[in-house]
Amino acid sequence: MKYLIIYTHLNPNSFTKAVVDEVEKIAINKAHETKVIDLYADEFNPVLKFPDIQYSFMDGEAPKDVEIYQQYITWADRIIFVYPLWWQQMPAMLKGFIDRVFTNGYAYMYEESGPKGLLAGKSVQLIINTGNPSELLERNGLHTAVKKVNEEGIFEFCGMTAETIFFGDVAMGTDNERKEYLKSIGEIID
């Protein structure tokens, strides 16, 4: 299978980067063709502007950067997003990647009967690091809400399957807990 890892964090020494490295290592060990996109290193521009709209809804051409990332998405069988949860939502950098790359006519289209996802057959995994303990976010329903806006709101809308894995308490937790998270990636990546 072809695995695309899309990684979003400003700090190359973050735990998020350690997770990405482990996901990549395991995907390669399991003989998947594997590519990694690092949105911060790429200095991706997350602000949707007129050329995007012209391309997506009128007759314009795809902005060059959007076209390149769409080729990655097209190539992949599985897309694994690794990022921290800021304010219970993805970082602006990654939100802008969705806003700009998952365009009308590429990721979905509207038919008489309603919207139709154009990325069917691909699967998405979200590996999300949070500062809050997972028990807290599960108890107050935030995990459910976060899964819903992402899985249904973005990926299933485009026809993909999606699942979410939370690694909680990553900042204040112990080194041992973080090691356990890294170890669990072997079961997450099949």
The reply to whether 7 sits near a copy of itself by the rule CB under 8 A is: no
> Which position has the token pair 């590519």?
35
Between 68 and 92, CB nearer to a copy of itself: 92
Which residue type, as a one-letter code, is found at position 48?
L
Contact yes or no for 130/89 (Cβ under 8 A): no
Binding segment for a copy of itself among 71-79, 142-150, 161-169, 173-181 (CB under 8 A)?
Answer: 142-150
- What tokens were used for 177? 């807990």
Among 13, 31, 87, 187, binds a copy of itself (CB under 8 A): 87
- 124-162 in b/e form (b: 16+ CB < 10 A) is bbbbbbbebeeeebeeeeebeebbeebbeebbebbbbeb
The reply to whether 60 sits near a copy of itself by the rule CB under 8 A is: no
Size of the site for a copy of itself (CB under 8 A): 34
Judged by the rule CB under 8 A, the positions of this chain that interact with a copy of itself are 10-11, 40, 46-50, 53, 86-93, 95-96, 98-99, 102, 140-142, 144-146, 148-149, 152-154, 157
